[in-house]
Structure 1
Amino acid sequence: FILNEIPFFILLGIFSGLVSYYFTWAAMYLEGRFGKVKNSYLRLVFGGAILGLLIFIFPSLFGEGYEALMDILHGEGETIINQSIFKDFIENKYLFLLLLLLILIFKVIAMAATTGSGGVGGIFAPSLFMGGVSGFFVARFINSLTPFKVSESNFSLVGMAGIMAGVMHAPLTAIFLIAEITGGYELLPPLIITATISYLTINYFEPHSIYTKRLAQRGELMTHHKDKAVLSMMKVKKLIETNFNPIHPDATLGDLVKVISSSSRNIIPVVDEDGTFCGLIFMDHIREIIFKPEIYRTTFVRNLMFMPETTVSQQESMEAVAQKFQKTGKFNLVVLKDGKYIGFISRARVFSAYRKLLKDFSDD
C-alpha cells in the first residue's frame, strides 16, 4: 500500500458502490420478474436457458467463482476471459475492459436466474466474485489507460470489501473479513477507505441492504415499530374464514333464499363451477325482495351480486391487509388466489389475533 494510491482507492470505493447498487437493484428486479411466472416448470426452463447461455459465453460465471478469484489474485486475471469465446480479444486493452464490465453485468443476471427459477444460491459468493472483478477492472483500467501502475491483486482484494460493504450494508464486516483473508493488516487503510466510500455511495441511492429488502418483500422484516413487527408475524392463510355458503351466479332468488336460511353469515359469495369468484351479495341489499315469492323464479343471482372494489391475496402481508381495512371501513374482505374464491378475512379475527400476539410480544 502506497499513500499515492489513496485517490485510486477512493475511485474504487465509488465504483464499488455503484456496482453494489446495480447488484441490489438488478437482483431484486429479476427475481421479481421470475416470481411472476406462476408455472414452476416454465420458470425453471427460463432460468436454465438464461444460465446456460451466459455460461456458454463466459464460463467463469459457472459456480461460486472462487477459481476465477484465485486466478486474479495470483496475477492471472486474463484466464477469466481466456476460457470464453472472446479469448482472441485479450490483447486489445479496450475490449478486455469491456468484457470485464460484461462479466459484472452478467454475473448478477446469472445469480438471479438461479435463485429466481428455484435453484439454490446466495449473496456472499457472488458479492466476493463481483468485488474481485471490480477491483481487477479498476486496476487494469489504471494500468492500461494512465501512466500510473497499481497492484491488480491488491485492488481485487480491496474490491471484495467494497462490494460486500455495499451489497450487505456492512462495511465493518467487509473490512475485517478481507483483512483476515489476507492474513495481515497491510491493506487495512485502503480497505477502510474503499468499504466506507462504497457504503456511503450505495446508501445515497439505496438505504437498505438486499437482505433487508428480501425480508420486507416477504413480509418477514422485524422492525423496532411494535405494530409493524406484530403484523409481520401474522399470516393471511391462518386467519381465513370459510364458513360462508357460496352460490352460483345462475341460481335464482329462490335458490338464494334457501342458501340464506342455512347460512350463519350475512354475506353470500357468488362462485361459478370452476371456483372463480364472481361477486358478493349482502343480505341487507336484498332484504326487501326475499319475501316476494312471486319473483323467486324470475330473479337471478347474477343481477343481484356486485363485485367488491377491494380484495385480499393469500400472499399479501398483514400490514397491507390492515391498511385495506382502514381505507375501506369494511368488516370482511374476500380472499382470492388467482381469481379463485378462498374465503374471507374479518376485521374482528385480525384484531383478535393481533391483540393476542401483541400481548405475547409485550410479555417477552
Structure 2
Amino acid sequence: MKQKGIIYEINQWRIRKISNRNFLVILAVLVGLVGGLAAAGLKGLTHHIAAFLQDDVQTKYKYYLYLFFPLIGILLTVLYVRRFIRKGKFEHGITPILYAISRKSSQIESHNIYSQIITSALTVGFGGSAGLEAPIAYSGSAIGSTIARFFGLSYREVTMLLACGAAAGIAGAFNSPVAGMVFAIEILLPEFSIPAFIPLLMAAATASVISRILYSEPLFYLVSDEWVLPALGFYIVLGCLVGAFSIYFSKVDGWVKGWFAKIKNPYHKVWVGGISLGILIFVFPALYGEGYITIQQLLLGKSNSLLANSIFSDYKHVGFMVVIYGAVTLFAKSFATLITLNSGGNGGTFGPSLVMGGLVGFVFAHGINLTGLTYLTEANFIVAGMAAALSGIMHAPLTAIFLIAEITGGYTLMVPLMIVAAISYFINRAVMKYSIYTKNLAKHGDWLSYEDKDKTVLRMMKLRYILETNFTVLAPDEKPMDRRSDIIHTKRNIFPVVDAAQKLLGVIYSERLFSILMGEEVTDKTMKELAQAPIDVVRMDANMYDVMRKMDREDIWILPVLDEHDRYMGFVSKSAIFNKYRALLMRQGTYLD
C-alpha cells in the first residue's frame, strides 16, 4: 500500500508540473535508453555465446558438434521458459505485439523485457537459424508498456510508448534510427498523426546512440557501385522473383506451424526440430545462426564462401555449382528458420528475411553474370533482394527501404530499393492479403485492420462486456397473472422462459402478455406453452461482426445469448453493440492525437 501511495504521489506531482505531451517525450527518451541497453546486451550476449562455441571450443570433433549445438540451444530455451515463466505466457515474434495492441490494451507482461533477451540469445547463439530483431522489438515493447503502466497512463499513451520501445529495439539492433521509427509507424501504428513522430524519433535516436556506444560493430560493410539505367529491367525481374518467393515462404510458414502443432509434447518438438536443424546446418553451414556473416562475405565478392566449409567445398570454384548450391541454401534457410521457431526456439523472421532476400539477389545476379550476356553488380542485387524480401514478407515496404539503406550505407541505391520493394509488396499482397505477422490474427478476428475498420472494430468487441442481463425471467410452469406486477413494471419488451437447469425454453413478447393481462386474450396457458422459439441464438464466444450479420439477415434488434452448455446468459442488442462500437472508434481515433 505504501509503494502504491508513493507512485500515486509521483504521478500527481508530474501531472501538476509537466504537461502530458512533454512527459510522453521524457518517457520516450527513457524507453529509448533502456531499449538501447537491451539491444546492445542482446547482441553482445548472443555473439559471445557464438564466439565461444566457434572459437574457444577446441576438439577434433568440433565440427560434428555443430550437429548438436542448435538442439542444445532450443532445449535450453524451452527449459528456461518452463522453469521460470510459469505464471505468464511466453510468445515470440511480432504477432503477439500486434495482438496486445488489438486485444489487450497494449499491455505486455514485464518478464518479456529480459526473457526475450535470454531465450533468443540461447537459441541464436547456439546456432538456431533465426533473427534477433523480433525478440528485441518484443523486449522494447515490454519496456515501453511497463513504464507507461507504471505511471498510470491511458491506452493511447501506453500504445505510443509500446511503439517507442519497439522502435528503440529495431534502432538499437541495426543502429538505424530512421528504420526503427518507420517500422513502428508502418507495422504497429498504421494510423498515426504528426505528434507521434516526436516520441518515436526520440526513442529511436536514443536507442541508436546507446547501442552504438556499447556495441559499435556495424552489421554490414557494403562495397558498391552506383546503379546504372540498363540494369533497371533486371531489378524489376528481381522484385518479381522475391515477391514470388515471399508467397512461398508465407505458405511454408503455415505448413510448418501446422506440422509442429500436431506434436503435443514440447520436448519431442525440441528433439525433432533440433536434430532436423543440425542436419540442415551440417549440409548448409550458412544456416548457422542469423546468417549475416554469409551475406557480408557475398557483399565483399567472395562468392565461393557459400561452399567453403561445406561437404561440397571441392566445387567452390565451379560457377554453376555456386548458383545451384546458393539456390538450395535459400530454400533450406526458409525451413531452418521455421523449424527453429516452431520447435521451441525464440527468434524472429525479420533477420532471416534479409538473409533469404540477399541470397535471391546473389543467385540471380551471379547466374546472369555467368552467362556472359551482361554484367550486374552482385552487391547491389544482394542489397536490393534484402529490401524486396522484407517488404513482401512483412508487408512493410518503407521499413525495408530505409532499413537496408541505413544498415548497408547504400543510399545511392534508393531508386532500385524503392522499385524492388514496391513490386515484391504488391505481388505478395495480391495473393496474401495479410502479412506473415497478421494472418493468424486476422484468421481469429484479432487483427486491428484499418482498411476495413467497421469489421475490425466489431470483431474487437467481447460479448461479455455488452451482455444485458436485466430481463424478467419467467418460469415454465408460471402463468401470466402470477407475474402480473413484474411484467407491467419491466422496461423490457421481451421475456425469456427459463427452466430450473437454466435452459432457455423460448421467449414471449410483451404484446402477447399485455393482451392476456388486459383480458383481450383469454387463456389459461403456462409460460412454457405461451413461449415461442427465438428466431436465432448467440453463443458467448461469438464475435460481434457475425452477430450483426445475423441480426441484419433476420431483421431483428435483439437475440438471446447461451453458453457452451446451452444455458441462458442474457441478451445482446443492436443498441448495446452500437454504443460499444462508438466507444471503440473514439478510443482508436484518439490514441495517436
Instruction: Give the counterpart of 2:455 among 221, 228, 232.
Output: 228
Counterpart in the other structure of 1:189: 415
Indicate yes or no: 2:442 matched with 1:209.
Answer: no
Deviations 1:317-348 (A, max 9, x none): 7368749977999956664xxxxx8x869573
Counterpart in the other structure of 1:59: 285
Counterpart in the other structure of 1:159: 385
Checking the alignment, whether the CA contact within 8 Å between 2:361 and 2:382 is kept in structure 1 is: yes
Mapping of 1:113-124 within 5 angstroms? 113-124=339-350
Instruction: Give the counterpart of 1:318 among 534, 537, 543.
Output: 543
Partner of 2:571: helix, strand, or coil? helix
Checking the alignment, whether the CA contact within 8 Å between 1:333 and 1:345 is kept in structure 2 is: yes
Counterpart in the other structure of 1:291: none
What CA distance in whole angstroms lies between the structure 1 residues aligned with 2:399 and 2:369?
29
Instruction: Give the counterpart of 1:32 among 258, 280, 288.
Output: 258
Identity over aligned pairs, percent: 37
What CA distance in whole angstroms lies between the structure 1 residues aligned with 2:575 and 2:336?
45
| Residue segments in structure 2 that go unaligned for 5+ positions in a row | 1-226, 468-497, 506-527, 530-536, 588-593
| Structure-2 change in CA distance of 1:56 and 1:356 (3 Å) | farther
Checking the alignment, whether the CA contact within 8 Å between 2:239 and 2:421 is kept in structure 1 is: yes
Q: CA deviation at 1:108?
A: 1.4
Counterpart in the other structure of 1:360: 583
| Structure-2 change in CA distance of 1:265 and 1:206 (3 Å) | closer
What CA distance in whole angstroms lies between the structure 2 residues aligned with 1:234 and 1:344?
22
| Structure-2 change in CA distance of 1:351 and 1:37 (3 Å) | farther
Deviations 1:74-124 (A, max 9, x none): 112322322222222323333322221111111111121122223212121
Q: CA deviation at 1:176?
A: 2.3
Q: CA deviation at 1:163?
A: 1.0
| Structure-2 change in CA distance of 1:88 and 1:184 (3 Å) | closer
What CA distance in whole angstroms lies between the structure 1 residues aligned with 2:499 and 2:233?
81
| Structure-2 change in CA distance of 1:233 and 1:200 (3 Å) | closer
Instruction: Give the counterpart of 1:348 among 550, 565, 571.
Output: 571
Number of residue equivalences? 297
What CA distance in whole angstroms lies between the structure 1 residues aligned with 2:304 and 2:462?
51
Indicate yes or no: 2:276 matched with 1:50.
Answer: yes
| Structure-2 change in CA distance of 1:125 and 1:265 (3 Å) | same
Counterpart in the other structure of 1:99: 325
Indicate yes or no: 2:244 matched with 1:18.
Answer: yes
Q: CA deviation at 1:144?
A: 1.2
Counterpart in the other structure of 2:50: none
User: What letter corresponds to residue 28 of structure 1 in structure 2?
Assistant: G
Deviations 1:20-59 (A, max 9, x none): 1112221123223323433333333332232222222212
Q: CA deviation at 1:128?
A: 0.6
What CA distance in whole angstroms lies between the structure 1 residues aligned with 2:382 and 2:417?
11
What CA distance in whole angstroms lies between the structure 2 residues aligned with 1:141 and 1:25?
26
Deviations 1:209-254 (A, max 9, x none): 22221321343201344553344335689999xxxxxxxxxxxxxx
Partner of 2:303: helix, strand, or coil? coil
The two structures, once aligned, show a CA RMSD in angstroms of: 3.6
Q: CA deviation at 1:177?
A: 2.1
What CA distance in whole angstroms lies between the structure 1 residues aligned with 2:324 and 2:436?
27
Q: CA deviation at 1:71?
A: 1.1
Deviations 1:166-223 (A, max 9, x none): 1122223222222223325321222222222222332333233222213213432013
Checking the alignment, whether the CA contact within 8 Å between 1:160 and 1:178 is kept in structure 2 is: yes
Instruction: Give the counterpart of 1:146 among 354, 368, 372.
Output: 372
Higher helix share: 2
| Structure-2 change in CA distance of 1:139 and 1:322 (3 Å) | same
What CA distance in whole angstroms lies between the structure 1 residues aligned with 2:445 and 2:371?
48
Partner of 1:348: helix, strand, or coil? strand
| Structure-2 change in CA distance of 1:358 and 1:237 (3 Å) | closer
Counterpart in the other structure of 1:263: 501
| Structure-2 change in CA distance of 1:88 and 1:234 (3 Å) | farther
Deviations 1:239-273 (A, max 9, x none): 99xxxxxxxxxxxxxxxxxxx99634458xxxxxx
Counterpart in the other structure of 2:44: none
Please, which moves more after superposition, 159-168 or 205-214?
A: 205-214
Partner of 2:437: helix, strand, or coil? helix
What CA distance in whole angstroms lies between the structure 2 residues aligned with 1:42 and 1:346?
42
Checking the alignment, whether the CA contact within 8 Å between 2:306 and 2:322 is kept in structure 1 is: no
Checking the alignment, whether the CA contact within 8 Å between 2:544 and 2:577 is kept in structure 1 is: no
| Structure-2 change in CA distance of 1:235 and 1:119 (3 Å) | farther
What CA distance in whole angstroms lies between the structure 2 residues aligned with 1:113 and 1:236?
37
Partner of 2:412: helix, strand, or coil? coil
Q: CA deviation at 1:142?
A: 0.8
User: What letter corresponds to residue 459 of structure 2 in structure 1?
Assistant: S
User: What letter corresponds to residue 358 of structure 2 in structure 1?
Assistant: G
| Structure-2 change in CA distance of 1:49 and 1:263 (3 Å) | same
What CA distance in whole angstroms lies between the structure 2 residues aligned with 1:62 and 1:263?
61
Checking the alignment, whether the CA contact within 8 Å between 2:323 and 2:367 is kept in structure 1 is: yes
| Structure-2 change in CA distance of 1:362 and 1:186 (3 Å) | closer
| Structure-2 change in CA distance of 1:265 and 1:175 (3 Å) | same
Partner of 1:186: helix, strand, or coil? helix
Counterpart in the other structure of 1:78: 304
Checking the alignment, whether the CA contact within 8 Å between 2:457 and 2:581 is kept in structure 1 is: yes
Checking the alignment, whether the CA contact within 8 Å between 1:58 and 1:103 is kept in structure 2 is: yes
What CA distance in whole angstroms lies between the structure 1 residues aligned with 2:460 and 2:298?
45
| Structure-2 change in CA distance of 1:193 and 1:98 (3 Å) | same
Q: CA deviation at 1:350?
A: 9.4
| Structure-2 change in CA distance of 1:322 and 1:186 (3 Å) | same
Q: CA deviation at 1:125?
A: 0.2
Partner of 1:263: helix, strand, or coil? coil
| Structure-2 change in CA distance of 1:263 and 1:184 (3 Å) | closer
What CA distance in whole angstroms lies between the structure 1 residues aligned with 2:568 and 2:314?
63
What CA distance in whole angstroms lies between the structure 2 residues aligned with 1:344 and 1:359?
30
| Structure-2 change in CA distance of 1:349 and 1:39 (3 Å) | farther
What CA distance in whole angstroms lies between the structure 2 residues aligned with 1:2 and 1:311?
62
Indicate yes or no: 2:399 matched with 1:173.
Answer: yes
Checking the alignment, whether the CA contact within 8 Å between 1:165 and 1:196 is kept in structure 2 is: yes
Partner of 2:424: helix, strand, or coil? helix
Counterpart in the other structure of 1:245: none
